[in-house]
A and B are shown apart, each in its own frame.
Chain A
């Protein structure tokens, strides 16, 4: 039973436009949600996170939105750049010091 779901395996966006990556979860006990970016044969790189007590967190071109009632979060990248092309993983944590639960990832392709 997947607790963190990324239903879109891939997304293609033109350079300069907005990329929106979606993530749904089932466990209402999650307290932190994180987005990671990953290139093939490399470890994930932390991008941005959001606490369950907030509904928005912004860092430069990256903004994460959390809708607790819908158990849904999204990552917005604007403007998208070709260098953003990678696999993006949504992850959640249900308690401090515990492991992250990852979605299956969404492959973002940004074309110039």
Chain B
């Protein structure tokens, strides 16, 4: 099946630093990838839609200057948390749908990245 990887799986950083999270589709191409965030015992909340070759679309309330998204190729999207603060500590998950697969509607999720900001 389709595999999505994320790197790193866990990162601890100091407040004020920036952290980059990578999301890769390993065996398929994805025009669109999605970034979600999950707080403990909460649902997955969509942060932004990452479009290959164009600007990301952010959900209401998500600061685009703080959460920078780059979708450089059909297999890679990155999320950079700039000037991270403790309240940014969360579990970040990306997902992607295969391109060109007729009727495809499943999204395949990465394993997630746990960010802890001290």
Chain A interface (Cβ < 8 Å from any Cβ of B): 31-32, 34, 36, 41-46, 49, 51, 89, 93, 96-105
Q: Collect the chain A residues with CB atoms within 8 Å of residue B111's CB.
A: 42-43
Interface size on B, residues (CB 8 A): 25
**Docked pose: A11 CA to B114 CA in angstroms:** 27
The answer on a CB contact under 8 Å between A101 and B46 is yes
B49 within 8 A of A: yes
Chain B interface (Cβ < 8 Å from any Cβ of A): 4, 6, 31-32, 34, 36, 42-46, 49, 91, 93, 95, 97, 105-112, 114
Report whether over half of chain B's contact residues are helix, strand or loop; otherwise say mixed. strand
Q: Collect the chain B residues with CB atoms within 8 Å of residue A41's CB.
A: 91, 112, 114
**Docked pose: A32 CA to B104 CA in angstroms:** 10
Contact of A44 among B46, B93, B97, B105 (CB under 8 A): B93
In the complex, how many angstroms separate the beta carbon of A110 from the nearest chain B beta carbon? 20
Q: Collect the chain B residues with CB atoms within 8 Å of residue A34's CB.
A: 105-107
Q: Collect the chain A residues with CB atoms within 8 Å of residue B110's CB.
A: 43
Q: Collect the chain B residues with CB atoms within 8 Å of residue A31's CB.
A: 105
The answer on a CB contact under 8 Å between B49 and A99 is yes
CB closest residue in chain A, given B105: A32
